[in-house]
């Protein structure tokens, strides 16, 4: 399980989990679950297009993720955010359907893009994944304070000169980067479980942002590791285990929060606002 090609799976899986845990924390904090679903999902069209043109899949994924992120950001200024996200997503998917109909070979390749192929990761995928991961983490570190402020108290942020629109665009670009690196590994559809389940669970356990972020990364790592191990043992797709583990982690978090909330009646812990440590 830890030899040969599996080493790549463990390495890349761990990198993906760290990024998903970090980016996911802000996703949940900002209530941007839909965007976190739409960008990776729509970027699959880029992969289909890249296959058609015979260029590197990563380039197609990156281009479409960024395109999706920027159109959601820009159109979202005028229209309703959820509507714009939905429409940008379907437009990308529509293009994906078109590219698919043009390309000769189909089937398993596309399903693996949608649902991931973590056990088939080759050694030459490790370097680009790691590079994109470093970029993602660096962006989160650099943006940490303004992004946190803008996510929690947008008005205060504006007053202090942090443009909510600029932060939204930055956040969307980070999600696009994360999508580009994670999609070939866990698939367009399931990166999302990792980016929602783990941080949502983490936030049920603690209100402190840094602790929650660390916990979110830890839960994501455990999710990915156990999913890889289970997939290796059973041959079932890794996405199945990632998806289920995300839901289980969230359920545990809710049970914990409910139990703690029950003990601390009167402490107003219904959806506590996170404390900002600046």
Partner 1 sequence: MSAALIFAHGFFSSEDVRIAIVVGAVVAVVSGTVGTFTVMRGQSFAGEALGDIGITGGSGAFLFGVGPLWGFVAAGVVAAAAMELIGIQRPRGRDLATGIVLGAALGLAALLLYLDSTLHNTTGAGRTILFGSVFAVSVGTLPLIAGLGAGVLALIALLYRPLLLSCVSAEMAAARGIAVRAVGAAYLLALALAVALAAISIGAILSTALLIGPAATALRLTRRPGLAIAVAGLVGVAAMWLGILLAYDSYYWPPKETGWPVSFFVVTLIFLAYLLSGLPALLRRRGRSG
CB atoms within 10 A of CB 244: 15
Q: Could you tell me which of 96, 71, 93 has the C-alpha nearest to residue 84?
A: 71
Task: Considering the complex, state which of residue 80 and residue 208 has its C-beta at the smaller distance from partner 1.
Answer: 80
Site string for partner 1, 28-57 (x = CB under 8 A): x--xxxx-xxx--x----------------
What DSSP character marks residue 274? P
Instruction: Please state the closest distance from residue 101 (CB atom) to partner 1, in A.
Output: 5
Task: Considering the complex, state which of residue 98 and residue 142 has its C-beta at the smaller distance from partner 1.
Answer: 98
User: Among the candidate windows 26-34, 153-161, 171-179, 257-265, which touches partner 1 by CB under 8 A?
Assistant: 26-34
Q: Tokens for 74, please give them.
A: 């820009």
- In the chain, count H helices and then E strands: 11, 0
Task: Tell me how many residues contact partner 1 (CB under 8 A).
Answer: 56
Residue 93 interacting with partner 1 (CB under 8 A):
yes
Residues 6+ apart with CB under 8 A from 81: 72
Residue 127 interacting with partner 1 (CB under 8 A):
no
Residue 184 interacting with partner 1 (CB under 8 A):
no
Please report, for residues 23, 38, 112, 142, 260, the alpha-carbon distance to residue 190 in angstroms, rounded to integers and kept in the order given.
15, 12, 11, 27, 30
Phi, psi of 236 (to 5 degrees): -75, 155
Residue 165 interacting with partner 1 (CB under 8 A):
no
Q: Could you tell me which of 151, 167, 145, 190 has the C-alpha nearest to residue 16?
A: 190
Instruction: Please state the closest distance from residue 142 (CB atom) to partner 1, in A.
Output: 26
Instruction: Please state the closest distance from residue 17 (CB atom) to partner 1, in A.
Output: 15
Instruction: Please state the closest distance from residue 240 (CB atom) to partner 1, in A.
Output: 4
Residue 171 interacting with partner 1 (CB under 8 A):
no
Angle between helices 5-30 and 164-186 (to 10 degrees): 150
Q: Tokens for 159, please give them.
A: 């007053």
Residue 114 interacting with partner 1 (CB under 8 A):
yes
Considering only 61, 147, 181, 200, the residue that binds partner 1 (CB under 8 A) is: 200
Residues 6+ apart with CB under 8 A from 130: 15
Residue 210 interacting with partner 1 (CB under 8 A):
no
Residue 152 interacting with partner 1 (CB under 8 A):
no
Instruction: Please state the closest distance from residue 90 (CB atom) to partner 1, in A.
Output: 4
Angle (CA) 271-273-275 rounded to 5° is 145
Residue 240 interacting with partner 1 (CB under 8 A):
yes
Residue 207 interacting with partner 1 (CB under 8 A):
no
Residue 264 interacting with partner 1 (CB under 8 A):
no
Phi, psi of 5 (to 5 degrees): -65, -20
Phi, psi of 67 (to 5 degrees): -60, -45
Q: Tokens for 245, please give them.
A: 């583990």
Residues that bind partner 1 (CB under 8 A): 28, 31-34, 36-38, 41, 78-80, 82-83, 85-87, 89-91, 93-95, 97-98, 100-102, 106-108, 110-111, 114-116, 187, 189-190, 192-193, 196-197, 200, 236-237, 239-244, 246-247, 250, 271
């Amino acid at each position: 399980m830890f030899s040969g090609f599996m080493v790549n799976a463990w390495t890349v899986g761990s990198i993906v989990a760290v990024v998903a845990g970090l980016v996911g924390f802000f996703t949940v904090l900002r209530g941007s679950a839909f965007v976190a679903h739409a960008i990776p999902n729509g970027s699959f069209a880029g992969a289909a297009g890249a296959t058609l043109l015979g260029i590197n899949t990563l380039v197609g994924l990156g281009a479409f993720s960024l395109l999706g992120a920027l159109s959601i950001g820009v159109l979202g200024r005028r229209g309703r955010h959820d509507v714009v996200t939905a429409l940008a997503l379907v437009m990308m998917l529509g293009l994906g359907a078109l590219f698919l109909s043009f390309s000769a070979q189909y089937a398993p390749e596309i399903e693996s893009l949608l649902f991931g192929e973590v056990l088939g990761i080759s050694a030459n995928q490790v370097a680009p994944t790691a590079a994109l991961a470093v970029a993602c983490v660096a962006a989160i570190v650099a943006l940490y304070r303004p992004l946190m402020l803008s996510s929690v108290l947008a008005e205060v942020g504006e007053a202090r000169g942090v443009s909510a629109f600029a932060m939204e665009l930055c956040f969307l670009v980070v999600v696009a980067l994360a999508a580009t690196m994670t999609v070939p590994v866990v698939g367009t559809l399931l990166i999302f479980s990792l980016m929602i389940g783990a941080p949502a669970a983490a936030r049920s356990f603690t209100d402190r942002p840094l602790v929650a972020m660390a916990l979110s990364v830890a839960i994501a790592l455990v999710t990915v590791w156990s999913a890889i191990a289970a997939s290796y043992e059973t041959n079932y797709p890794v996405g199945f285990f990632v998806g289920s583990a995300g839901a289980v982690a969230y359920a545990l978090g809710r049970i914990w929060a409910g139990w703690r909330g029950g003990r601390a009646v009167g402490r107003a812990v219904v959806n506590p606002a996170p404390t900002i440590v600046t």
